Amino acid sequence: MEEESKIYPSSDQPRMAALELLRLVRDEGAYANLALPQVLRKYKLNGRDAAFTVELAYGVLRNQSLYDAMAQKCSSRALVAVEPEIIDILRLGIHQIYAMRVPDHAAVDTCASLARVSVKGKDAGHIKARVGFVNAVLRCITKSEFDIETLSLGERYSHQDWIVQAFEESLVHNGLAERDLETLLRANNTAADPVIAVREGDQEIVGTIPGRWSNQARVLTDVIPLELDQVRDGSAIVQDEGSQLVAQAFLLAKPTGPESSWLDMCAGPGGKAALISDAVPDGVEFIAVDLHQHRVDLMSKIVGSSAQLLTGDARERPWGNRFFDRVLLDAPCSGLGALRRRPEARWRKTKRETLALTGLQEELLLAAIDSTRIGGIIAYVTCSPYIEETWAVVDSVLQARTDIQREDARDLFPGVSDLGSGPYVQLWPHVHGTDAMFFALLRRI
Ligand SMILES: C[S@@+](CC[C@H](N)C(=O)[O-])C[C@H]1O[C@@H](n2cnc3c(N)ncnc32)[C@H](O)[C@@H]1O
């Protein structure tokens, strides 16, 4: 580590760091946001250099199929036959040329030098070929006009085709127009400021502005979460505004009759359970469950003392043969609604794996219903707008049960506009500025 820091000129440390982050994502299946702190530490980056690294790496991850289409137009070789690291270097160069205010010559020269220094133990001819190729392609890019209108939406906005189709179907199904599709794809490619949920009082926090909908939300415009005392001491948690609205909607729902027990069935790492635990009335028991011990451990750090934590498979009802007044099922899902915040996620999802989750979602929803008392409510939630994981799951379970009625969930989102024609709520990044959370309200009758 030390040795590498000395080899590379300090001005190129952010680019080296971005290249390394891309390699970790590509070769080791790393999550960019989790690998980032370790990479920034290794290259001793902070402040503006760290921000530059993040913009570079995340920008490339978000736009890579557009950049590949551009690079291919300027390459005499088929890109599939080019070393993956060289492709990453080309993407980094194109992002600087097209999306950042880096002068063309600086983008070309620094990427050519990346092609030289990032390779170890190769012969001089190989290094020369790498540098020559990067130079030639990027110089061509700076001189070319690209008509991106000729590209498919998937290429232009760097989404897999099945995901573009899933968004289009969901927009139409939820009463939005087809023309919203491009706005949504663009919103998925726009970095979202971090948001926190304030758990105590009505605090003003320097470096933040109030959220758009949730009175607990503060958007971090000039600080990063760990710079805030409130985040460090746990009186605020990092949480998208859509998730805050979901937790608040769960709290606003009204079971009939007196209440004594609430359940969050898939609660780790505990964001929604934390807000719920803050609002549990005296005399009400709140149980929060997750399949994975490490997620229960994470949850234990943020939920209030009113919550009892359990580890187990919610389909087997580790809480035993008992009935709750309110049950939250924030189901394991594709996460297609949070692409803004997880830049590499869009390349990892497959349609097959996503559809395979729907069986689990249905089984969990049936377990939720079986653990709800008559007059009690069930909130079925996903961080995905994909119809197969949302409407289709709820409708399929409703067909199998005669003891459940759907209710209009829009009433639980007071003040939030553009909630469609119900009865379910679908939030959208391009409409609400939140992750695309889905919320269905069911009542056991
Ligand atoms: C969407 S996340 C929940 C997020 C959480 N509600 C929050 O706000 O932080 C889904 C969770 O379901 C858990 N899970 C997956 N299968 C499960 C099962 N069969 N029983 C219980 N939990 C499960 C996962 O470990 C994951 O933590």
| Predicted confidence (pLDDT) per residue in 383-423, tens digit | 999 999 999 999 999 999 999 999 999 999 999 999 989 99
In a domain, 41, yes or no: yes
Q: If you average pLDDT over residues 141-154, what whole number do you get?
A: 91
Share of the chain above pLDDT 70, in %: 97
Instruction: Please indicate, yes or no, whether residues 274 and 381 belong to a single structural domain of this protein.
Output: yes
Domain endpoint, select from 102, 123, 150:
150
Ligand 1 proximity of 272 Cβ (cutoff 6 Å): yes
Rounded distance between C-alpha atoms, residue 94 and residue 71, angstroms: 8
Query: What's the whole-number average pLDDT of the chain?
Result: 93
Number of domains in the chain: 2
Tokens of 431: 């409409």
Supply the angle between the helices 124-143 and 47-73 in degrees, to the nearest 10. Answer: 80
What pLDDT score does 3 carry? 40
Instruction: Please indicate, yes or no, whether residues 279 and 377 belong to a single structural domain of this protein.
Output: yes
Expressed as residue numbers, the domain containing 366 is: 240-444
Instruction: Please indicate, yes or no, whether residues 400 and 251 belong to a single structural domain of this protein.
Output: yes
Rounded distance between C-alpha atoms, residue 326 and residue 324, angstroms: 6
Which pLDDT tens digit goes with each residue over 187-216?
999 988 899 999 987 778 888 999 999 999
Q: Which domain CATH number covers 318?
A: 3.40.50.150
For ligand 1, pick from 196, 275, 291 the residue to mutate: most ligand atoms within 8 Å of CB. Answer: 291
In a domain, 82, yes or no: yes
Contacting residues for 371 by C-beta, under 8 A, at least 6 apart:
263, 265, 317, 319, 322, 323, 324, 327
Tokens of 16: 């080296």
In a domain, 195, yes or no: no
Domain endpoint, select from 110, 129, 150:
150
Instruction: Please indicate, yes or no, whether residues 142 and 252 belong to a single structural domain of this protein.
Output: no
Domain endpoint, select from 97, 129, 150:
150
Q: Which domain CATH number covers 75?
A: 1.10.940.10
Instruction: Please indicate, yes or no, whether residues 100 and 245 belong to a single structural domain of this protein.
Output: no
Instruction: Please indicate, yes or no, whether residues 146 and 7 belong to a single structural domain of this protein.
Output: yes
Which pLDDT tens digit goes with each residue over 297-320?
999 999 988 899 999 999 999 999
In a domain, 160, yes or no: no
pLDDT band per the 50, 70, 90 thresholds, residue 11: low
In a domain, 309, yes or no: yes
What pLDDT score does 122 carry? 67
In a domain, 119, yes or no: yes
C-alpha distances (whole Å) from 22 to each of 50, 175, 396 are 15, 38, 40
- Residue 358 φ then ψ, to 5°: -70, -30
pLDDT band per the 50, 70, 90 thresholds, residue 121: low
Q: Name the closest-CA residue to atom 10, ligand 1.
A: 332
In a domain, 219, yes or no: no
Specify the range with the lowest mean pLDDT, choosing from 158-162, 229-233, 274-278: 229-233
Which pLDDT tens digit goes with each residue over 319-378?
999 999 999 999 999 999 999 988 899 999 999 999 999 999 999 999 999 999 999 999
CA 328 / ligand 1 centre spacing (Å): 11
Instruction: Please indicate, yes or no, whether residues 124 and 262 belong to a single structural domain of this protein.
Output: no
Instruction: Please indicate, yes or no, whether residues 246 and 142 belong to a single structural domain of this protein.
Output: no
For ligand 1, pick from 262, 266, 328, 437 the residue to mutate: most ligand atoms within 8 Å of CB. Answer: 266
Residue 405 bridge partners (DSSP): 443
In a domain, 350, yes or no: yes
Whether the per-residue pLDDT at 1 is higher than 50: the answer is no
Active-site residue set: 383
Tokens of 377: 């409510």
